[in-house]
Amino acid sequence: MPRLSGVAGTSQGMGTSKVKIGNRPIGLDHPTYFIADVGANHSGSLDKACELIHLAAEAGADAVKFQHFRADHIVSEKGFALLPKMAHQKHWKDSVVETYRKAETPWKWTLTLANACKVEGVEFMSTPYDLEAVDHLDPFVNAWKIGSGDITYRELINKVAATGKPVILSTGASTMEEVRRAEAANWGQDLVLMQCNTNYTGNDEANLPHVNLNVLKTYATLFPRAVLGLSDHTNHGVSVIGAVALGARVIERHFTDCRSQEGPDHGFAHEPKWWRWMVDDVRALEQALGSPIKRVCPNETEARIVQRRAMWDGRALRPCPLDREGELA
């Protein structure tokens, strides 16, 4: 893979920002890091969870991520009963609490999932939703992913920061002040800031105008120590391509083996074939980004000779190139 010097690296001063997850350095000068978020798409089956790890690895994922929560610790039947179902939850057939219960990743699976990732050569990740989940996951993960919903959960942010491991922080549905406060946590240089639009409806016509990839430029200016990324929930590949062109080097997308299955996460996830296309397109883009230095490239030297205008000196029988004004050089 050639050295990657994208536009953000030269115009926005991001070239030296990088983190390391496991053995993989991540930054502008390295290939984009892809996270396949299984979420609830294991459908309560450990065998299916392991199969999704295998499929994600085949599709080009660098990491496979789960979510460690216990429904009774993060949602309240009484609280949600006071409100109508909103946003993506409107489409859930079961109650919010029951949907979360079915979506849990049992903690007794953790060792098996981590080993399955190791066998497939991908990083095991999981988002902790409470402080006990951090303690449980710490022996198994080399980096943390904090979801957008917990960007203001200071106790959780401080606890993962104290481990000294890299933190990937999604910033969906957040104000700039909330992002600033979270970014200021004491986790040194090992931070990935993910632009995100927290909408899981899969309606691209309505959602694409709110992806706001240009926020990556703002983050590059305000948070030069951070590596940038995109957590995306659209059906388009254009948002991923655009993000990488703007300097993102971590991409997170939900992953499933079949989008038509019932469950809260399948509908906006992507299947292995689509994932492979996305990864391959980004790898091609990384080569096309090339260098910020304008020069004559090796593959155009002959074209430079045959396309430039010239006059012939009949006495010397040699071509005489013209300068910019059409005079003999």
| Phi (first) and psi of residue 159, to 5 degrees | -70, -45
Q: Are residues 233 and 252 in the same domain?
A: yes
Tally of domains in the chain: 2
Kindly state whether residues 183 and 328 are assigned to the same domain.
Answer: no
Mark whether 275 and 216 lie in a shared domain: yes
Is residue 124 domain-shared with residue 198, that is, in the same domain? Answer: yes
- 253 in the same domain as 318: no
Q: Are residues 166 and 186 in the same domain?
A: yes
Give domain status of residue 83, yes or no.
no
Q: Domain check: are 118 and 233 in the same one?
A: yes
Residue 311: CB atoms within 10 Å: 13
Q: What are phi and psi of 45, to 5 degrees?
A: -115, 125
Q: 198: domain range? A: 7-69+104-289
In a domain, 94, yes or no: no
More confident residue, 199 or 189: 199
How is residue 24 written in tokens?
């993989």
**Tens-digit pLDDT profile for residues 70-127:** 888 777 665 555 566 555 555 556 576 777 787 799 999 999 999 999 999 999 999 9
pLDDT at 8: 40
Query: At CA 66, angle to CA 229 and CA 237, rounded to 5?
Result: 40
**What does the pLDDT look like over 96-105, one tens digit per residue?**
677 778 779 9
Please report whether residue 127 resides in a domain.
yes
Let me know if residue 228 belongs to a domain: yes
Q: Are residues 170 and 318 in the same domain?
A: no
Rounded to an integer, the average pLDDT of 49-68 is 98
Do residues 133 and 205 both lie within one domain? yes
Q: Residue 252: inside a domain, yes or no?
A: yes
pLDDT tens-digit map of 118-170:
999 999 999 999 999 999 999 999 999 999 999 999 999 999 999 999 999 99
In a shared domain, residues 237 and 319: no
In terms of domains, do 318 and 265 share one?
no
Report the sign of the C-alpha dihedral through residues 10, 12, 15, 16, in that order: positive
Q: Is residue 96 part of a domain?
A: no
Q: Within a domain: residue 204?
A: yes
241 falls within a domain: yes
Helices (H) and strands (E) in the chain, counts: 14, 12
Query: Hey, CA dihedral for 265, 125, 196, 73, is it positive or negative?
Result: positive
pLDDT computed for residue 268 by the predictor: 82
- 224, 155: one domain: yes
Cα–Cα distance, 272 to 257 (Å, whole number): 7
- For the stretch 233-281, pLDDT in tens is 999 899 999 999 999 999 999 999 999 888 767 778 899 999 999 999 9
Least confident of 5-14, 64-73, 101-110, 292-301: 5-14
The CATH number for 36's domain is 3.20.20.70
